Chains A and B, each alone.
Chain A
Amino acid sequence: MILSGSVLLLHAQQNIALHGQIIDSKQIPVIGATIIVSGTTNGTVSETDGSFRFTLKQALPVTLQVRALGYKTETVDVYENEEVTVTLKEQTNTLDEVVVTALGITKEKKSLGYAVQALQNKDLENTKETNLLNTLTGKLAGVRITNSQGDMGSSRIVIRGETSIAGNNQPLFVVDGVPVDNSQLNSGGATRDFRNAIADLNPEDIESLNVLKGPNAAALYGSRAAHGVILITTKSGKGQKGLGITLSSGITLSTVATLPEYQNVFGQGSNGKFSYVDGKGGGVNDGVDESWGPKMDGRLIPQFFSNGVAVPFVAHPNNVKDFFETGVTLDNGISIAGSDKKYDFRLGVNNQRQKGTVPNSEIKKTNFTINSNYQLTKDIKIGATADYIVTNAPALPGGPSGGRAAGVMLQFLWFGRQVDINELKKNWNNNWNNSYYNNPYWNAYYNTTSQDKNRLIGDIHLEAKIADGLNFRFRTGTDYYNDRRKYTIKYGTSGTPYGSYAEDAYTVSENNTEAILQYTKNLNKDFSLDALAGFNLRNRSYANNYQKAPRLAVPDLYTLTNSRDALTSSNYFSRQRAYSGYASAQLAYKNFVYLNVTGRNDWSSTLPSNNRSYFYPSVNGSVVLSDALKIKSKTLDFLKLRGGWSEVGNDADPYQLATVYNFQTAFNGNPIQTSSQKKLNADLKPETTRSVEFGLESSFWQNRLHLDFAYYNTNSFDQILEIKTTAASGYTSQLINAGKINNHGIELQVEGTPLQSRRFKWNVAVNYSSNNSKVKILDYAGQIQNYTIGSSNGVDVLASVGKAYGILYGTAYLRDANGNIIVGANGLPKADPQNRVLGHYTPDWLGGITNTLTYKNLQLSFLIDANVGGKLYSGTNRTGNYTGVLKQTLPGRDAAHGGLSYYYPGNLSSNGKKLLTGTSAPNGETVYDDGIIFKGVLADGTPNTTVISAQEYYKASYNISEAYIYSSTFVKFREVKLTYNVGKKLVKKIGLQDASLTLTGRNLFFIYKAVPNIDPETALNTGNGQGLESLALPTTRNYSLNLNVKF
């Protein structure tokens, strides 16, 4: 549906006889179209061949308006006397929209009994996010995306809530018919993060992205589609007349978006004292990595860079911010496309070079793509696609090993507030604290994690017409990648004095081969049938090999043989296979009543032979009420009701049937074999997910308003759960078939055009979704009440019977019957020995609103999205309070900040603190002004009056998880995009087919957020154990400029 105007020169004088042709998008002439010069009555009507001719009554240029029944009105500027060809777009009703469905089959959207949502290239390109998933945030109803680790990390996507208690809840990705992997191998926790695999794709290569939101839509994909499917169609050369060359070039600048708010009053140390000698306890509190030290008022104190000389002790308010650099991503691509009657092709290459916000971090990625089709004979067409992706990351942000020595934000939540980052930058051997840390630049440049990845996604396919209405399709596709990571730690690193070197290599491959017969027939005047039957063979394999030299023999040589000790190593290999047979049929009555049925049977290698085969059906239908009841009016264009029921089965991971014993490093020649602590299950059954879905689609006032509403209710049964068990059962986990989890929710999409004139258009798209989950049963014997999904710092994320999925469970304050916190005689709050439910991480609702304003060639769009409800546990706030670096730890730290005055009777700390009642202590004792009284009651119910120091106060709740639970609600100004399409006239003049310039800003700011100091979107990893924030790298704010030119 592209507007194209081609113009031919006739005269160059007045009284020009303007002529041309009106066609539709299928090149068919449009008869009886009205052609009129804008603002006049001068014009004509097109002939039976679509042609027109009339004499202009004015000089060029003119604007023509072309109208025809069933088509959208088009306006064309005519600058020269040339043949004018105007392509009219069909008046698209939602009625006639065509979407890609399961197995890549295109269907009329009106015939479907389930919800699909499509994004087109324009929604994805030019945003220049380096992770494809992030470009989807806020644009899809019912889809939740969380971005865990800054600008180079992974993102997680979940559609319609978590339906699997334990398994992967992310959708299946299918690129041009080939299922592709989106796993995140060895995420490495909070200190380091690898991108999820789908981030390899280049958004510019994508033509469209269809989201099949639930089992109803995805039943034909079977096993892995229980959590929805994302179907990606890449660009091809189809429709490109002759040769088209597109150049695309972009630059993105990234800055860290959300850093903790630091205090700038007190520096490093403890109890107000600090003096640096060796940074590990040799001076006064110089081994302490906290900021409970002296006031940074310029007093003279020896510091880490001053060689014992006392220098001014002053705040460096930006000492964390200044560590981060402006990230730069350069993106350059070229593609060549072409087609004629027999063939079409598109070749593309795109190079992306990203320098991250963490110094020395860099990822380079190149995509080579090819998409081609060739008409072999009249009835046989063959084709192939390939996306070869080379990723080279010399250094990823975050160090190679966990813990204090490596984590970027971990160090910055202990970082002395007086530390001058420039002194650390000048000399990487300088270090502010030698007890626990390395100079952060030392970490960034010497202790690196690198990644080299080569990936091929591709297929070859054949389509053949066997008879009228009977077609055969064959496809064999692969997704293969090698991912090699190297971890280096330099000699002399704190905690790893000899350094270390490790290699971690993965090879993952999945091959799918499918054959499908498709049959289409009009049975009689009213009924038509569209049926298919197919077979799929799936093979997947995974291999990992890890080797580590734990202590290097000589510095700076990173090889596995340069080792003082025996290498530690491990490897893992797995493969699985599944055969599937499936069939579907669609019966249509008069193009307004549709019935679809599908069935699929899988045979999976991962299940025991007697449970290996499992069948699952689905049925859905739709009625276009506006046609069936003939109630179309000027107000109502279209009204459709849809509904369906489906069942999807799922198999297990490989090797889950027989309990095994692992080997550990042998001791003095004696092999060590030990329990894997996980009891497996020889009688596993497949998982089942059943889902019911209803929906309504309508459109009003000539498509000025669209509405799509969906309700779904999904129950998952017999889930294969690795339940955590008490170790006293003999195993820390056991694999069972258990559980029932219910998810139900609604999704609403509204799209409208409140204002539309010839030059100006305002479009609004809103999406809203809300999902409720409830864990109904874990094990059928009723012994297990909780399933542990994840945990961090003593907070568990649980699936707990009778509650929503993902409750946060941990230590709470001990409270009395009135809810007052109970404080001990020492003035510190007490922890309740009974752990409590502290909230749940899943949000109440998600929403997004996109406004698009178009004026002539200029388009401005902006997206605001919201996540309302849900709780999170913030490790950043917990640590930052303990260390006293956060601004929120200022109240009470001195008299100026409201601190109470106290003294130690007789100046002996063993006598305890006594609140000062007069202006000075009775016996002239030293008076301190950092006293706080914890609000609470003593065990006997009387109010607590014991004064404690601010340092004690802010540390008191370190082990009480409740203190660091926050609401995750936020409203974010996610994206603003300004596009200028260079006018056809100008483009033509410089010999181009198309040109555009786009400015984008992403992740700009929070309109509202409840949790301080962090971006609530940051989660631990791509697993299910969400809601646990743990010192993640900050997310980034990105600005990009992008130029697209087509020859």
Chain B
Amino acid sequence: MIKKLFPLLIIALLASSCNSQLDEINKNPNATETPQPAYLLTSALKQGADLYWGSESNFNSSLLFVQHWAKIQYTEPDRYDVSNSSFTSLWNTGYSTLITDLNTILNFSDDQVNSNYKGIALTLRSWVFLLLTDAYGSIPYQEAGLKITPAYNTQKEVYTGLLADLTQAQSLLATANGSVSGDVVYSGNISKWKKLVNSLRLRIALRISDKEPDLAKQAAIAATVDAAGLLAGNSDTFQFVYASSPQQNPASAWFDTRDDYRISKTMVDKLYELSDPRLSVYAQLPSDASVGKYVGGANGLSNSDANSQGFAKTSKPGTYFLAPQSPAVIFSYSEVLFARAEAVARGYISGDAEQLYKSAITASLNQFGITDATVISNYLNQASVKYDATNFAKSIGIQKWIAFFGQGLDAFAEWRRLDYPVLTAGPATVLDGQIPSRFFYPGTEQSLNGISYQAAISTQGKDLLTTKLWFDAK
């Protein structure tokens, strides 16, 4: 037995002396354990824009629901024939990439990053949470990133929490607090970030206006009286400008290789009806020159009916949206003006709602390169465009819907809230004539966070596309 044990003893001694050597071997040479705040910030901006402007959450879902775009083949999503694995990237990227990276910035100690990084991170995180709750309803918020099976919060809790988060973000941001790099949107211009914070507060205030008018009013006032102000011109617009391939605009990348989408007939018809100068920006003429006019694709058709409209006889979205460098607009100046108009109309703040409404449309026309004063005034002076003070939701709803072209998630949220324009589900849709009111939760929530999920749907209602969310009062 001694003979047996002896070598073992030697080995044991040898091995223990090799302990540090084994630690060294297991040091990961492929990635770093120490993140850089600037690199995380660039990541959040780039991946956030990809998510917001990309296929799954935008042009293959919300942009179809609001009938900005339509599918000319593979019409299942346009017919709402989708499953609970159809809306996973907003959830997964939103939480495990964007919120996690932004939380990493927030968790740095104060000597590692200045408070402007934290203010920006908190602002962007609020934006992501807002996208999530607008789309799904109740979502993990307070326990997100903290527990393995986080509980869901109601929309009311989330919106209220986000208003507080944005107030805190505003207090973290100050030009004097230090410089920020990696900011590929505002190039470290902190005053623009401060404007964005107020603008987001205003967006949320209106989101909850039908359910919590007092809180909405309070938030709208806070957002508009803050000294930093709101986005004050198209140069303040919060947008991610893409570069050339492979860092190109996601819609541009899609059209490089595929031909699945057309601008929606609903949008084209509306723009024709209003003689809207944005039509030639939003749409291309069909490739078959004999057509000679803009023709939208109808939403919610069967594959063969969609196909029979003719690939060459229908209009693709405008080249403005399909160039590699096309921007992903996330918060436009015109939206701020529409929001102010509505806040006035609702009596939250003082001002001239009609004038703000006109300015909002003008800002949108400018945004898309239409600057001719005569063209603009001719457009504004049409009876069909004029502000209707008796039904602000209709005027603002229709114009906001046009101005949001391409911003599927926000167009979808505002259409649900304002209920204008009136949209009709296509003939081959599968929801008994209804249009979706939300996204499905990812199916994996049922297996991975089942108890929290069941609790959430027991208060919110069945996990169906047609279940109305809290903020969507009507």
Q: Which residues of A contact B (CB under 8 A)?
A: 269-271, 273, 280-282, 284-285, 287-288, 290, 292, 435, 495-497, 517, 519, 531, 533-535, 550-551, 564-566, 568, 571-577, 579, 581, 583, 585, 601, 603-606, 609, 612-613, 654-655, 657-665, 667-668, 670-677, 724-732, 734, 779, 783-786, 788, 794, 796, 798, 800, 809-811, 824-826, 828, 831, 833-835, 909-910, 958-959
Contacts and interface: CB of A to CB of B under 8 A. Distances in A.
B26 A576 contact: yes
B117 to A, nearest CB: 14
Contacts of A566: 246
B444 A726 contact: yes
A435 B259 contact: yes
Given A730-B146, A835-B447, A281 B35 contact: no
Interface of B: 3-5, 7-8, 11-12, 14-15, 18-19, 21-23, 25-36, 38-40, 42-43, 46-47, 72-73, 76, 81-85, 91-97, 99-101, 103-104, 139-140, 144-150, 182, 184, 243-247, 256-259, 302-304, 307-308, 310-312, 427, 430, 432, 440, 442-450, 462-464
B12 A581 contact: yes
Q: What 5 pairs across the A-B complex have the smallest Cβ distances?
A: A270-B304, A281-B311, A673-B39, A730-B145, A660-B31
Contact of B95 (A583, A728, A800): A728
Given A281-B72, A668-B243, A727 B96 contact: yes
Contact of B31 (A519, A663, A672, A726): A663
A796 B307 CA distance: 33
B8 A660 contact: no
Given A662-B31, A730-B96, A724 B444 contact: yes
Nearest to B26: A605
Contacts of B147: 729
A796 B447 CA distance: 9
A974 B449 CA distance: 44
Contacts of B11: 535, 579, 581, 601
Nearest to A548: B246
A794 B96 contact: no
Nearest to A536: B11
Contacts of A664: 43
A581 B448 CA distance: 41
Nearest to A729: B148
A1046 to B, nearest CB: 44
A622 to B, nearest CB: 22
Interface-centre pick from A577, A604, A612, A674 (highest chain B CB count, 10 A): A674
A574 B31 CA distance: 11
A344 to B, nearest CB: 30
Nearest to A670: B42
Contacts of B308: 284-285
Contacts of A673: 32, 35-36, 39-40, 43
B19 A609 contact: yes
B148 A675 contact: no
Given A281-B73, A612-B22, A661 B103 contact: no
Contact of A280 (B33, B150, B182, B311): B311
9 contacts: A270-B303, A282-B312, A287-B311, A550-B245, A672-B42, A677-B96, A730-B95, A835-B84, A835-B443
B281 to A, nearest CB: 25
B165 to A, nearest CB: 17
Contact of B100 (A668, A731, A834): A731
Contacts of B26: 576, 605-606, 654-655, 657
Nearest to A271: B304
Contacts of B448: 724-726, 784, 786, 788
A535 B13 CA distance: 13
A833 B8 contact: no
Interface-centre pick from B4, B29, B148 (highest chain A CB count, 10 A): B148
Interface-centre pick from B11, B32, B442 (highest chain A CB count, 10 A): B11
A667 B311 contact: no
A497 B32 CA distance: 36
Contact of B304 (A288, A660, A671, A731): A288
Given A435-B259, A728-B91, A533 B148 contact: no
Contacts of B146: 729-730
Given A728-B140, A731-B96, A811 B84 contact: yes
Contact of A676 (B21, B31, B310): B31
B245 A564 contact: yes
Given A658-B28, A729-B145, 17 more contacts: A284-B308, A288-B303, A497-B256, A533-B8, A575-B25, A605-B26, A654-B25, A671-B36, A671-B38, A671-B39, A671-B42, A725-B448, A726-B449, A730-B145, A833-B463, A833-B464, A959-B82
A702 B337 CA distance: 99
Contacts of A730: 95-96, 99-100, 103, 144-146
Contacts of B462: 833
A659 B311 CA distance: 48
A951 to B, nearest CB: 8
Nearest to B241: A668
Contacts of A734: 148
Nearest to B288: A282
Interface-centre pick from A292, A609, A835 (highest chain B CB count, 10 A): A835
B83 A655 contact: no
B14 A579 contact: yes
Given A496-B257, A497-B257, A798-B447, A825 B432 contact: yes
Nearest to B256: A497
Contacts of B76: 958
A573 B29 contact: yes
Contacts of A281: 72-73, 259, 307, 310-312
A513 to B, nearest CB: 13
A551 B245 contact: yes
Given A285-B308, A959-B81, A581 B7 contact: yes
A676 B101 CA distance: 10
Contact of A732 (B96, B245, B259, B430): B96
Contacts of A280: 259, 311
Contacts of A534: 7
A905 to B, nearest CB: 15
Contact of B18 (A271, A603, A784): A603
Contacts of A564: 245
Given A673-B39, A959-B82, A910 B427 contact: yes
Contacts of B256: 497
B3 A519 contact: yes
A675 B96 contact: yes
B445 A726 contact: yes
Nearest to B31: A660
Nearest to B104: A675
Contact of A826 (B25, B47, B246, B430): B430
Contact of A665 (B83, B246, B463): B246
A657 B28 CA distance: 9
B212 to A, nearest CB: 24
A13 to B, nearest CB: 67
A564 to B, nearest CB: 7
Contacts of A609: 19, 22-23
Interface-centre pick from B85, B304, B427, B445 (highest chain A CB count, 10 A): B304
Contacts of B5: 533
B28 A909 contact: no
Nearest to A583: B4
A368 B67 CA distance: 66
Contacts of A825: 432
B432 A655 contact: no
Given A435-B259, A573-B30, A574-B30, A834 B430 contact: no
Nearest to A779: B148
A800 B448 CA distance: 11
A550 B311 contact: no
Nearest to B32: A661
B39 A726 contact: no
Nearest to A269: B304
Contacts of A519: 3
